[in-house]
């Protein structure tokens, strides 16, 4: 059915791709063995380091984030190794399943999916592991299924306090380019990223930022792998090339997207996301609904997951919003299926886009017959207006 106007894609990724990034990708296919490609490759490889905030190596794969999960584990570990994982949501759960399929032994810290990682439980597990059987600690920085962010700096401190040699691996697929993250400063060994969220690109690129310690572990790991091999990639990457066919046009887009992030300023980007997240939470509360994340220090700047009132279907509500208002909202995943809807407010996004998104949610609640109070949009608009002067000051600086 024809629908006039633009579609509001407000899922937590893939996100809207800015026009200038689309135009950057709209190039003739390049010979990926040519000198010109080497220039592009080096620029892409060096620029992405600035978003991870690392001076070390970042490996780029033509793959989804799931591929980068596998690369992180397959390069550094051996079958039978124990990995400590905190199940903060559906994506942490999927990383656990992947570890099992690779022959690893996950030791899982359960949560109710309404907070970030349980740092105290991680610390206790590390302290108890006197034989150092745990070879890696795996944490999702921003859990896309729940809208909860974990304190990675605190997890690193737990490793240090326990004097534990395990690698620290972090998934930043939905926080890279949208929430402050510091690979080097926080002592992360492998960071797993993806292109389709805060980086404002289509799906198709994934990343491993790796420490010297991680590369040393990879030299000893015995898990069989070929496509994901770091050393083959890094050898070719030294001159800007790849050992197999890269996603050339996405690399054009990556360079443009990173340039765009720096033109705005990374700190300004992160503040923008936090501001839009707070405006969204104020709208949710004014509607009389409940934000899934119940711990303020774990609130996500990238998305907000909203609990539906008892007896009401999140999927039925989302269907009404999609059919009648031409807007896509994120669905509930795993144990949250049909219980929550997720509002993405990350990537290329501004105040008026948020206002349109929240207007659509408020209209949809009424159209779908979901019990709520009016005024959510107004609460968000008042917050955005009250904080607009600070945004202007930051942009002027």
Last residue in a domain, options 262, 280, 303: 262
pLDDT of 397: 56
Mean pLDDT of 206-216: 98
pLDDT of 2: 78
Coil vs helix vs strand at 135: strand
Domain that holds residue 194: 19-262
Mean pLDDT of 173-187: 98
pLDDT of 130: 98
Report yes or no on 338 lying in a domain: yes
Q: Phi and psi for 112 in degrees, rounded to 5?
A: -90, 10
- Residue pLDDT, tens place only, 85-131: 999 999 999 999 999 999 999 999 999 999 999 999 999 999 999 99
Query: What does the alpha-carbon distance between residue 333 and residue 337 come to, in Å, rounded to a whole number?
Result: 5
Q: Is the pTM of this model over 0.85?
A: yes
CATH number, domain containing residue 151 = 3.40.640.10
- Residue pLDDT, tens place only, 300-321: 999 999 999 999 999 999 999 9
pLDDT of 392: 56
CATH number, domain containing residue 290 = 3.90.1150.10
Last residue in a domain, options 262, 288, 310: 262
**Which tokens hold the place of 186?**
């926080």
**Which tokens hold the place of 107?**
């030791």
**Which tokens hold the place of 368?**
């779908």
Query: What total of structural domains would you count in the chain?
Result: 2
Closest by CA to 387, choosing from 359, 362, 351, is 351
169 forms bridges with which residues in the sheet?
138, 190
Report yes or no on 3 lying in a domain: no
Last residue in a domain, options 262, 288, 319: 262
Assess whether pLDDT exceeds 70 at residue 395.
Answer: no
Closest by CA to 76, choosing from 207, 221, 230, 233, is 221
pLDDT of 48: 98
Strands of the sheet containing 340-344, edge to edge, are: 8-10, 327-331, 340-344, 303-307, 290-291
Distant-in-sequence, close-in-space partners of 274: CB < 8 Å, separation ≥ 6: 301
DSSP code string of 80-114: T-EEEEEE-SHHHHHHHHHHHHTT-EEEEEE--SS
Query: What does the alpha-carbon distance between residue 122 and residue 137 come to, in Å, rounded to a whole number?
Result: 9
Closest by CA to 92, choosing from 149, 153, 49, 132, is 149
Residues 244 and 145 in one domain: yes
- Residue pLDDT, tens place only, 359-369: 999 999 999 99
Torsion over CA: 34, 36, 37, 42 (sign): positive
**Helix axes 152-161 and 119-128, enclosed angle (nearest 10):** 20
Confidence of residue 169 (pLDDT cuts 50, 70, 90): very high
Query: What does the alpha-carbon distance between residue 263 and residue 242 come to, in Å, rounded to a whole number?
Result: 28
- Residue pLDDT, tens place only, 46-67: 999 999 999 999 999 999 999 9
């Amino acid at each position: 059915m024809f629908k006039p106007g633009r579609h509001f894609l407000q899922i937590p990724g893939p996100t809207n791709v800015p026009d200038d990034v689309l135009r950057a990708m709209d190039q003739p296919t390049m010979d990926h063995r040519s000198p010109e490609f080497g220039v592009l490759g080096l620029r892409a490889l060096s620029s992405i380091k600035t978003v991870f905030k690392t001076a070390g190596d970042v490996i780029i794969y033509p793959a989804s984030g799931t591929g980068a999960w596998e690369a992180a584990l397959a390069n550094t570990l051996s079958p039978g190794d124990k990995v400590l994982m905190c199940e903060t949501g559906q994506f942490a759960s999927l990383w656990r399943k992947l570890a099992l399929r690779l022959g690893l032994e996950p030791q899982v810290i359960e949560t109710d999916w309404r907070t970030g990682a349980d740092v105290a439980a991680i610390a206790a597990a590390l302290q108890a592991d006197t034989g150092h059987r745990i070879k890696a600690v795996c944490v999702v920085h921003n859990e896309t299924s729940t809208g909860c962010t974990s304190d990675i700096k605190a997890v690193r401190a737990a490793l240090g306090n326990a004097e534990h040699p395990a690698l620290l691996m972090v998934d930043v697929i939905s926080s890279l380019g949208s929430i402050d993250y510091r690979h080097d400063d926080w002592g992360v060994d492998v960071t797993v990223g993806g292109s389709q969220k805060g980086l404002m690109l289509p799906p198709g690129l994934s990343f491993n930022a790796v420490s010297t310690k991680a590369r040393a572990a990879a030299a000893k790991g015995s898990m069989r792998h070929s496509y994901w091999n770091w050393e083959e990639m890094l050898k070719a990457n030294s001159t800007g090339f790849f050992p197999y066919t890269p996603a050339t046009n996405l690399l054009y887009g990556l360079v443009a997207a990173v340039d765009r992030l720096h033109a705005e300023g990374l700190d300004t980007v992160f503040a923008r996301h936090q501001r839009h997240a707070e405006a969204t939470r104020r709208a949710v509360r004014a509607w009389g609904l409940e934000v899934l994340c119940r711990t303020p220090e774990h609130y996500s700047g990238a998305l907000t997951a909203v609990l539906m009132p008892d007896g009401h279907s999140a999927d039925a509500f989302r269907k009404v919003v999609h059919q009648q208002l031409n807007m896509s909202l994120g669905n509930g995943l795993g144990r949250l299926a049909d219980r929550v809807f997720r509002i993405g407010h990350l990537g290329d996004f501004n105040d008026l886009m948020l206002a349109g998104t929240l207007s659509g949610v408020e209209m949809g609640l009424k159209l779908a017959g979901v019990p709520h109070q009016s005024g959510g949009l107004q609460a968000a608009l008042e917050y955005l207006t009250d904080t607009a002067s600070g945004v202007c000051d930051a942009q002027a600086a």
